[in-house]
Structure 1
């Protein structure tokens, strides 16, 4: 292979990537209703760092439990309006369930 072919091939590849459309330029603008997410400030949910015992004492038995899975062990407790995520025995996040 000659130097001329290598340079020409490299130039052609560079031009192809330069002239390709930017992926974000063709993106569609999606608008989703936020529903009642503003009610989150009024919703009582477990906070980060709480123990499983304190969550159970404040909100009772969960409707269902998933896990623990993985390392560190992550489990989910499902309540009527929210889900609580635990790493081992501590709350790492609480999220509202989507309203349908």
Structure 2
């Protein structure tokens, strides 16, 4: 279910962009897929100001699309998705080493 949600979110947010966003999915011992997470990454509900204060400036800020505005901030290891000014999801880039 989580992987379908991530795929749907990726396709919606990528709408017409050259490269869709991809998330690494781990299969946990209980058999349920979980999104890859880093020890330190923005979490759902944080504001843009909180993300800037804690994680610094992103390497890239993409233009908001749609209504309500969905904004993407790209960091070296992950991309943060905001709805309006709140984090709705953080996607770890493929190939990033995850802590055990």
**What is the TM-score of this pair, normalised by structure 1?**
0.57
Match of 1:59 among 38, 55, 61: 55
- In the other structure, the counterpart of 1:72 is 68
- Structure whose CA Rg is larger: 1
1:50 aligns with 2:52: no
Structure 2 unaligned spans of 5+: 1-25, 27-35
- Cα offset, 1:43, TM superposition: 2.9
Pick 1 or 2: higher relative contact order, CA cutoff 8 A, min separation 6: 2
- Distance in 2, matches of 1:62 and 1:41, equals 18
C-alpha contact 2:38 2:92 (8 A) present in aligned 1? no
Structure 1 unaligned spans of 5+: 1-33, 35-39
**What is the TM-score of this pair, normalised by structure 2?**
0.57
- In the other structure, the counterpart of 1:84 is 80
- Cα offset, 1:84, TM superposition: 0.2
More helix by share: 1
